Amino acid sequence: MFTAVIIIKPMNPMTLPDVSQWGGACELADLAVLSLRGADAATFLHGQLSQDVQSLAADQARLGAYCSAKGRMLASGLLLRPAPDEVWWVLSADVMDATLKRLRMFVLRAKAQLADERGRIRVTGLLGPTALAAVPGSDPAALATPGAAQLLAEGAGQLVRLPDAGGVQRALWLAPVDTALTVTVPTVNLTDWQWLDMLAGIPQVQAATADQFVPQMVNYELVGGVNFKKGCYPGQEVVARSQYRGTTKRRLFLAQADGPVHAGQEVFASTEPEQPAGRVANAATASQDLGGTLALIELKLAMRDSPLRVGGPDGVPLTLHPLPYDVPMADD
C-alpha cells in the first residue's frame, strides 16, 4: 500500500478574525495534573504510556497516551519531569479518576506514588508574550520552540511552550495554586482558549471519547504523541500494527459548524447516512462571534469529500478545513 501526503482543501474558505493580538491568562479548570513521585516514577509510567518517559528532561514536554489492551486511548496529555523522581501528566480533568484507578491497579511494588494534584497545582493557559513574561522567573529564550519547558525557581512550577494557534503564542503554566503572576494581564475566556486548541489540531481524550480512538485515528503520532522505538506498553502491538501495516482508515480533521457540537457526537456522511462515518473528538465555541463552532472530528478517509453532518443524518452541517500540519492518508 502506498501512502501520500494530502492537504485537505476547505469546502469553503474559513473566514477567521485576526486573533494574533490576543493576550492574557486563562485558568484551565478542564485540565488537571496527575503526578507520580518516587524512584520508579518515570520507569513505571514509561511502561504504561505511548511516550518515552525515561529520557524526558526537565526542559522538555511530550505528549503521551494511555491505551487499553486494544490500543484505544483512555487518556492523553502533556508530560513533564520537574525532577528525576517526579513526573507530571496534564490530562482532561474528567478522566482523572478513572485513569488514577486503573494505573494504581498496576503499580504493584514499584516505588511510585500517584496523586491527583487538583487543589494543589493550578493549570493556567497563557496567550501572548506579555502573559508569558508575567510568570515569575520566566525566560523567553528557554521557550523559543513548542515543546520546550522551563523549570521555574522558588517553587513557581513549570512553564511549557505550546504550538501557536491562529498566530498567537501560547503556553501552559503549572504552579501551586497560591502563585500569582508578577503583573496583571487580561482574563481570557475558557471557551476562547479551547477554540484556539481546535486550530492547533491536537486532540485531548475526554470522558465522552475515552476508549474510542487508536492514536493514529486522531493524528496522535503526527503531533509527537507516540514513540515507536520505546518498549512495550498496553495496546502497543495494535498501535504499531496500524503504523507499519498501513491499516489507518480514519484520521482527524478540523471542522466548522454553525450549530452546537460536543465531544462524543457521531458524524454522518450523506453518501452513507445509515451508519456513522466518524465521531467528534473535541469541540469549542468562542465567546465572541468567530464563525460558529470549531471541532476536531475523527472521520473515515473515504468520507472526507462527502457532505457531513453531526448528531445524525439530518444534523448540523460540517465544513472541513486544513489542519496546521500535513496528514498522510492511504491512496484510494
- CATH 3.30.1360.120 assigned to domain 24-191? The reply is yes
- Residue in 1, 135, 209, 238 with CA at minimum distance from that of residue 143: 135
* pLDDT lower than 50: segments of the chain: 1-13, 331-332
Residue 261 dihedral angles phi and psi, to the nearest 5°: -140, 140
Task: Burial-class residue 14 by CB neighbours within 10 Å (0-12, 13-18, 19+).
Answer: middle
Q: For position 3, what pLDDT does the model report?
A: 27
Which amino acid is residue 300, in one-letter code?
K
Q: What is the domain partition of the chain in residue ranges?
A: 3-16+201-330, 24-191
Q: For position 27, what pLDDT does the model report?
A: 97
Q: What is the grid cell recorded at 93?
A: 480533568
Q: Are 217 and 50 in contact (CB under 8 A)?
A: no
Q: For position 1, what pLDDT does the model report?
A: 25
Q: For position 29, what pLDDT does the model report?
A: 96
Q: For position 21, what pLDDT does the model report?
A: 83
Predicted structure pTM score: 0.92
* CATH dotted code for 3-16+201-330: 2.40.30.160
Q: Are 126 and 172 in contact (CB under 8 A)?
A: yes
Q: For position 16, what pLDDT does the model report?
A: 59
Distance CA(227)–CA(281), nearest Å, equals: 22
Q: For position 328, what pLDDT does the model report?
A: 83
Q: How far is CA 281 from the centre of its chain?
A: 10
Q: For position 17, what pLDDT does the model report?
A: 63
Which amino acid is residue 312, in one-letter code?
G
